[in-house]
Structure 1
Amino acid sequence: MPFDAVLFDMDGTLVDTEGLWWEAASSVARDLGVRLTGDDADSVHGRTVADTAAHLLSRAASASRAQDDHVADMAVVSERLTEEFAARIAAGVRFVDGALGLLGELAAGEVPTALVSASPRRIVDLVLKQLPHPFRTVVADGETPRGKPYPDPYLEAISRLGVEPARCVAIEDSPTGIAAARAAGCRVLTVPRMPTLAQLHSLDRPARS
């Protein structure tokens, strides 16, 4: 086999939740008197709840439009982001084209898989209820000393799997996640923000000589 394990990002890679996350962030931003634009995309997509909350608070402070103190508080904004996102996830998610097929082939080939997400455990568990795949291990945001773009989440998953980083393939869609996987020493397959994983269906096949 050309690799020993496949590590998946979740949002935007397996499930089409990037739009839901943007909606959640936009809703919280409005409470802070801020309107998100395309310029905010790299500070929201693929980012942790804490990173996004910090960005929203920074935008609000820069615009001098922060509202009541109970809104412009890091812990409160983070909780609001999680609540808004969770409500949208609970209503149902759409799987990225080809994702279930790829996961099925990896399971059939007994290839170990891990889920490595920038979302908190609450969000990950809501998605896992809708995602029928037996990941060997799952690492959510907040379960390592540092989150993406640092390598810690990937290194934790790799350690749990008992494999070498260079023998792992990470599938990611955001610059933050790509940076984390590369820093961990994984080989990285990058999919676009609105990806299809159908072209990766043969990922679990042995390399031909």
Structure 2
Amino acid sequence: MPPDPTRSAPAPFDAVLFDMDGTLVDTEGLWWEATADVAAGLGRELGPSDLPHVLGRTVHDTACHLAPDDVARVSDRLTDSFADRIRKGVRVVPGARELLRALTASAVPTALVSASPRSIVELVLPSLGHRFEVVVAAEDTARGKPYPDPYLEAARLLETDPRRCVALEDSPTGVAAATTAGCDVLVVSVEVGLPALADVIRRKGRS
């Protein structure tokens, strides 16, 4: 039997940092639907120009985009609308559970770095069946993605250098945040799924 590359040599990174929506779980569509419903209640119809203000952004940022004069109320409506959809069940992205299990087996620390509020994160976590050493949610930093703050905070809590971390992201907003923080970034998609740990190690080794 060939040696397992995840065990035969130490990983060339200190930790793996995961985005949540659209990376580990297929919830970006649910977030868009929730936002579209709230926008409709405000007399707005979402279109392509709204994408950068919705996907990968915090509830607060999206509320500011939709209703800058009524941010608190619209934020609550967005969170409630998204939570209602999450409670009906989420699809875990193919390969996500396998990669998380492999990281645990290899003693590689993991962090969840999400633009979603903690209440949403807590609804999603049971579906992943994984204990992250660190969870950074929208409330945990003054600025959300695309600013680097969430990834810098995750690295700080893990007591490591962000340049020694790999971040998995699906959106331009998240990629910008992780890149600016200094992480090596792997761009993933719900259609293709997440890579195996051996592939993450190989891709990191080439960077």
> TM over 0.5, yes or no?
yes
- Mapped to 2, the partners of 1:100 and 1:126 lie a distance apart of 17
1:7 matched to 2:17? The reply is yes
RMSD: 1.7
1:48 matched to 2:58? The reply is yes
SS of the aligned residue for 1:118 comes to: coil
Amino acid in the other structure paired with 1:112: P
> 1:65: which partner in 2?
none
Q: Which has the higher helix share?
A: 2
Instruction: Report the CA distance between 1:52 and its aligned residue.
Output: 0.8
1:89 matched to 2:83? The reply is no
Amino acid in the other structure paired with 1:31: G
1:36 matched to 2:33? The reply is no
SS of the aligned residue for 2:32 comes to: helix
| TM-score (structure 2 length as normaliser) | 0.88
1:114 to 107, 111, 114: 111
Give matches, 1:1-209, under 5 Å.
Answer: 1-57=11-67, 73-192=70-189, 194-197=191-194, 199-203=195-199, 205=201
SS of the aligned residue for 1:171 comes to: strand
Preserved contact between residue 98 and residue 196 of structure 1 (Cα < 8 Å) = yes
> How many residues are treated as equivalent by the alignment?
194
- Unpaired stretches in structure 1, ≥5 consecutive residues: 59-71
Amino acid in the other structure paired with 1:135: F
Preserved contact between residue 16 and residue 108 of structure 2 (Cα < 8 Å) = yes
Amino acid in the other structure paired with 1:202: A
Preserved contact between residue 13 and residue 195 of structure 1 (Cα < 8 Å) = no
Bigger mean CA offset, 43-52 vs 32-41: 32-41
Preserved contact between residue 12 and residue 194 of structure 1 (Cα < 8 Å) = no
